[in-house]
């Protein structure tokens, strides 16, 4: 018999106050983002553990090497409190390395994280000069957020290596009311979709990226770190500027701009959905005034992966 063993703890929500500020991020023309103070850092964290050292718990019921998943949950909180990282990826890397140091029977692990955004609430400034971000009050943002996955391995010599990674921005939902088209597509007796030279395009989009050097993902050198906030801003800027002839056309343009802005990236990938609203009524007196309805299922899905040659 051959066994592929994996177990772990998922949906561990961690809220960390007064983390290391993220400073020194290289700015891009498409985004105002240059860093964050990290007064509140929040993420949903998951650990996936692999290793033949746990085989006897499956075959014999011998749990002497098993780290209980409840212990994993507690350890994630302890290591998170100690983490000096200013980025989600750095946070996961620190916690993952702490696991492999504490529990060497874990031959390899994957650390997954999903940012839980809590932006600072805008409040009147104390000096009456206008408005500023509160340093004590934050509001849950349920829109897009950053994600990451790091695969770590414990070597025979006791060293810990980052063997793979993927970073992302998930949950983008963008509607452009004009400046998009879908026409001249293949038609046959099964085609009923009308051509639209201009349409209101609503797309849901997840964007992922992979660094050529995985160390850049951790944010230790912030100038080489790609922040998910910047990726979201870049995608929105391209969508705003670009007259796309399809969602495929749009995501390819976004990918090309990402490679242009961040030469440290080796690959990008997209998962997009076509959620374009169904046309409703056009005003008889002003053609710019229109109504729309939610689209009927099913939903179109578009994927693209681009790698540097």
Q: What is the pLDDT of residues 49-64, one digit of tens each?
A: 998 889 999 999 999 9
Residue 309 confidence class, pLDDT cut points 50, 70, 90: confident
Order the strands of the 108-115 sheet from edge to edge.
6-17, 40-50, 108-115, 145-154, 160-182, 196-211, 265-274, 300-307
Fold of the CATH domain 169-307 = Urate Oxidase (3.10.270)
Q: Which helix (H) or strand (E) holds 94?
A: helix 88-102
Q: Is 42 a residue whose pLDDT tops 90?
A: yes
List the end-to-end C-alpha distance of the chain, in Å, as a whole number.
Answer: 40
CA–CA gap between residue 88 and residue 76 (Å, rounded): 14
Gyration radius of the chain over CA positions = 23
Tell me the whole-structure pTM to 2 decimals. 0.94
How confident is the model over 152-180, as pLDDT tens digits? 999 999 999 999 999 999 999 999 999 99
Active-site positions? 9, 69
Per-residue pLDDT tens over the stretch 64-77: 999 999 999 999 99
Please report which confidence band the pLDDT of residue 1 belongs to, taking 50, 70 and 90 as the band edges.
confident
pLDDT at 117: 96
Same fold across 6-167 and 169-307: yes
Position 51 scores a pLDDT of 87
Task: Enumerate the domain spans of the chain.
Answer: 6-167, 169-307
Assess contact for 47 and 74: CB atoms under 8 A. no
- At residue 240, the 3 state secondary structure works out as helix
- Superfamily classification of domain 6-167: Urate Oxidase; (3.10.270.10)
Residue with tokens 């076509």: 274
Token output for 58: 């499956």
Confidence bin at 34 (pLDDT 50/70/90): very high
């Amino acid at each position: 018999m051959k066994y592929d063993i994996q177990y772990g703890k998922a949906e561990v929500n961690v809220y960390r106050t007064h983390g290391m500020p993220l400073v020194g991020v290289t700015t891009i023309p498409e985004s105002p983002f240059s860093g964050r103070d990290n007064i509140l850092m929040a993420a949903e964290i998951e650990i996936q553990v692999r290793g033949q050292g746990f085989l006897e718990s499956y075959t014999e019921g011998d749990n002497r090497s098993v780290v209980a998943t409840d212990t994993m949950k507690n350890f994630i909180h302890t290591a998170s409190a100690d983490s000096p990282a200013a980025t989600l990826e750095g946070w996961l890397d620190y916690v993952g390395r702490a696991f492999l140091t504490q529990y060497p029977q874990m031959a390899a692990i994957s650390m997954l994280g999903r940012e839980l955004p809590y932006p600072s609430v805008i409040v009147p400034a104390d000096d009456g000069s206008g408005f500023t971000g509160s340093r004590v009050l934050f509001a849950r943002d349920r829109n897009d957020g950053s994600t990451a996955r790091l695969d770590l391995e414990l070597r025979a010599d006791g060293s810990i290596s980052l063997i793979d990674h993927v970073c992302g921005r998930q949950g983008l939902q963008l509607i452009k009311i004009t400046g998009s088209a879908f026409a001249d597509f293949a038609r046959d007796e099964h085609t009923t979709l009308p051509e639209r030279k201009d349409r209101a395009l609503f797309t849901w989009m997840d964007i992922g990226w992979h660094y050529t050097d995985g160390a850049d993902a951790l944010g230790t050198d912030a100038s080489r770190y790609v922040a998910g906030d910047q990726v979201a801003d870049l995608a929105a800027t391209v969508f705003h500027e670009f007259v796309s002839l399809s969602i495929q056309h749009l995501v390819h343009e976004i990918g090309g701009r990402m490679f242009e802005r961040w030469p440290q990236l080796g690959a990008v990938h997209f998962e997009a959905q076509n959620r374009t609203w169904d046309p409703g009524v056009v005003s008889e007196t002003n053609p710019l005034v229109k109504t729309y309805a939610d689209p009927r299922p099913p939903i179109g899905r578009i994927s693209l992966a681009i790698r540097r040659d």
